[in-house]
Amino acid sequence: MIEFLGPDWLAYAFAALMGVSLLMYAILDGYDLGVGMLTAQASWHEKDRMIASIGPFWDANETWLIMGLGLLLVAFPKAHGIILGQLYFPVAIMVLGLVFRGVSFDFRSKVPAHQKWRWNKKFYIGSYVTTLAQGYIIGACITSFDHSYSAQVFCLICAYLLTSAYCLIGASWLILKCENNLQTKAITWARRHLFNVFIALVAVSLTSPIISDHIYTQWLSASNILFLSPFPVLALFVMLRLELILARMPYKNDKYCTWPFIYTIMIYILFFSGLAHSFFPYIIPGKLLIKDAAASPESLWVIFLGFLFITPLLLLYTVISYWAFSGKATDLSYD
C-alpha cells in the first residue's frame, strides 16, 4: 500500500484532512460567527442586512466542523476519547452556543417586529459564546490540557484571539457583501479587529513556547527556526497590506472590495500552518502521536474511500452555493 510513503502515511493523511476541514470551518463559519458578534454594533436595519449576507451559507458552513470532528472520531478514536473527556464542558458550551444561534436565526424572522430585538440579542450571544468556547478549546489543546493558572490564562488569550479573528473575517465579508454606510462601518470594524488580532497573535506567539515544551522545541530548535521564520514575516506583510487597503477604502465603484476577505484568509492559512507545525507529529502535543492514535489501517482505508466520495460533493455544493448567491446582500425574506 504505497510503501514508499512509509507505514504510517495514511494516519498522517487523515491528520492533514482533518486539519484542512477545521481550517475550512474556521474560514467559512468564522465569518458568519464574526458577523453575528458584530451585529451588537449595528442599527436595526443594518442587523437585517448583515444577517441576510450570511443567510444562504451559515448552516452549510458548519458542515466542515462536523467533518473535522467526524474524522477525529473515526480515524483517531483514542485521541477523540481523550480530547472530549478533557474538554467536555467547553465542547458542551460550544454546542449549546451553536444550537442557540441557529434557533435565534430562524425565530427572529418569524416573531412580530417588536420582539425581533430579543432574538437579535440571542443571535449575538450565541455567536459570541460559541467563539469563546472554540478559542478556549484551541488553547487547551496547545497546552495539552494543563490546568495550571498560567495555562488557563493562555487559553483565555486564545479565546480573545479567535474572537477578534472571527470579527476581522466577518467585517471583511461585510465589506464584500454590503454597501454604503454599513460597508463604511465594516471597514472601521475590520481595522479595529486587525489591530486586536496582531496584539493577540504576538501574545500567543511569545507565550506558547513558555507554556509548552514541545512547542519550544518545534519553534526554537536550530533545525526549525530557519524553516519557520518566513511565516511570521509573511503574516506581518499581509497584515500591513490589509491595513493599507482598509485605510484607503471605500474605493470608487467598490473597487478592491474582495481584497480584505482574501488577505484575511491568507492570515488564517499562515496562522494555521504554524499551528499545524506546532502539533506535528503529535495529535495532542507531547502526549499522543498521530500514528499511535490512528485506527487500524484496514479501517482507515474504508474511511478514506468514503472521504474521497463525499469531499468532492461537499466542495461542489460549496462552490455552487457561493456562485449562486454572489453579489451584494439584499433583504432576507422567507416568503
Q: If you average pLDDT over residues 35-54, what whole number do you get? A: 84
CATH number of this structure's domain 8-322, picked from the four choices 2.40.50, 3.30.300, 1.10.3470, 1.20.1630: 1.20.1630
Q: What's the confidence (pLDDT) of residue 329?
A: 66
Q: What's the confidence (pLDDT) of residue 306?
A: 80
- Residue 133: how many CA atoms within 13 Å on its side-chain side? 19
Q: What's the confidence (pLDDT) of residue 163?
A: 93
More confident residue, 3 or 147: 147
Q: Dump pLDDT digits (tens) for 92-140.
A: 999 898 888 888 877 777 777 777 778 888 888 989 999 999 999 988 8
Q: What's the confidence (pLDDT) of residue 330?
A: 67
Contact 201/231 with Cβ under 8 angstroms? no
48's enclosing H/E stretch is helix 44-54
Q: What's the confidence (pLDDT) of residue 309?
A: 81
Residue 4, pLDDT > 50, answer no
Distance, CA of 32 to CA of 170 (rounded, Å): 6
More confident residue, 114 or 167: 167
Residues 137-174 as b or e (16 or more Cβ within 10 Å = b): bbbbbbbbbbeeeebeebbebbbbbbbbbbbbbbbbbb
Q: If you average pLDDT over residues 235-248, what whole number do you get? A: 90
Q: If you average pLDDT over residues 164-190, what whole number do you get? A: 90
Q: What's the confidence (pLDDT) of residue 260?
A: 92
More confident residue, 320 or 112: 320
Residue 223, pLDDT > 70, answer no
More confident residue, 212 or 331: 212
Q: What's the confidence (pLDDT) of residue 3?
A: 44
The least confident of 191-195, 296-300, 313-317 is 296-300
Supply the mean pLDDT for the chain.
Answer: 83
Q: Dump pLDDT digits (tens) for 271-304.
A: 888 888 878 888 888 788 888 888 777 778 888 8
The least confident of 34-38, 73-77, 101-105, 213-217 is 213-217
Residue 22, pLDDT > 60, answer yes
Q: If you average pLDDT over residues 132-152, what whole number do you get? A: 88
Highest mean pLDDT among 62-71, 113-122, 207-216: 62-71
Contact 126/97 with Cβ under 8 angstroms? yes
Q: What's the confidence (pLDDT) of residue 65?
A: 84
Q: If you average pLDDT over residues 241-256, what whole number do you get? A: 84
Residue 220, pLDDT > 70, answer no
Q: What's the confidence (pLDDT) of residue 8?
A: 75
Distance, CA of 331 to CA of 179 (rounded, Å): 13
Domain boundaries, the chain: 8-322
Q: Give the three cell numbers for residue 20.
A: 484542512
Which among 320, 323, 291 is positioned nearest to 14, based on CA atoms? 291
Contact 164/28 with Cβ under 8 angstroms? no
Q: Give the three cell numbers for residue 145.
A: 490540557
Q: Give the three cell numbers for residue 118.
A: 430579543
